[in-house]
Amino acid sequence: METKELETVQKVDYKNRILWICLMTVFWYMLVFSVPGELLFDPGSGPFDWFMEKIGYMHDANRFTMQYYLATISGFIGGILYMGYTKRNKFILRSMLPSCPNNKLKHLLQGLLIGFAMNFGCILVALIAGDIKLFLNFSIEQIPFYFFALVCVFIQSSTEEMWTRGFMYERINVHYPLWVAILVNGAFFGAMHIFNDGAGVLPILDIVICGLGFSLAKWYTGSIWVPMGIHTAWNFTQNFLFGLPNSGLISEASVFGLDAANARTTLIYDATFGVEGAIPAVMADAILGIVCLILAARKGRLGELFQKKVTPSADPQGPQPAYEFK
Over residues 117-133, mean pLDDT:
97
Task: Give the domain range for residue 204.
Answer: 14-306
Q: Does residue 171 fall inside a structural domain?
A: yes
Digit-coded pLDDT (tens) for 269-290: 999 999 999 999 999 999 999 9
Q: Does residue 324 fall inside a structural domain?
A: no
Digit-coded pLDDT (tens) for 87-119: 889 989 999 999 888 899 999 999 999 999 999
Q: Does residue 5 fall inside a structural domain?
A: no
Our count of domains for the chain comes to 1
pTM: 0.89
Q: Does residue 59 fall inside a structural domain?
A: yes
Quick check: 292 pLDDT over 80?
A: yes
Per residue, the 3-state secondary structure of the chain, as one string, reads: CCCCCCCECCCCCHHHCHHHHHHHHHHHHHHHHHHHHHHHCCCCCCHHHHHHHHCCCCCHHHHHHHHHCHHHHHHHHHHHHHHHHCHHHHHHHHCCCCCCCCCCHHHHHHHHHHHHHHHHHHHHHHHHHCCCCEEECCCHHHHHHHHHHHHHHHHHHHHHHHHHHHHHHHHHHHHCCHHHHHHHHHHHHHHCCCCCCCCCHHHHHHHHHHHHHHHHHHHHHCCCHHHHHHHHHHHHHHHHHCCCCECCECCCCCCEEECHHHCCCCCCCECCCEHHHCHHHHHHHHHHHHHHHHHHHHCCCHHHHHCCCCCCCCCCCCCCCCCCEC
Q: Does residue 214 fall inside a structural domain?
A: yes
Q: Does residue 252 fall inside a structural domain?
A: yes
Q: Does residue 319 fall inside a structural domain?
A: no
pLDDT at res. 318? 44
Digit-coded pLDDT (tens) for 140-193: 988 989 999 999 999 999 999 999 999 999 999 988 999 999 999 999 999 999
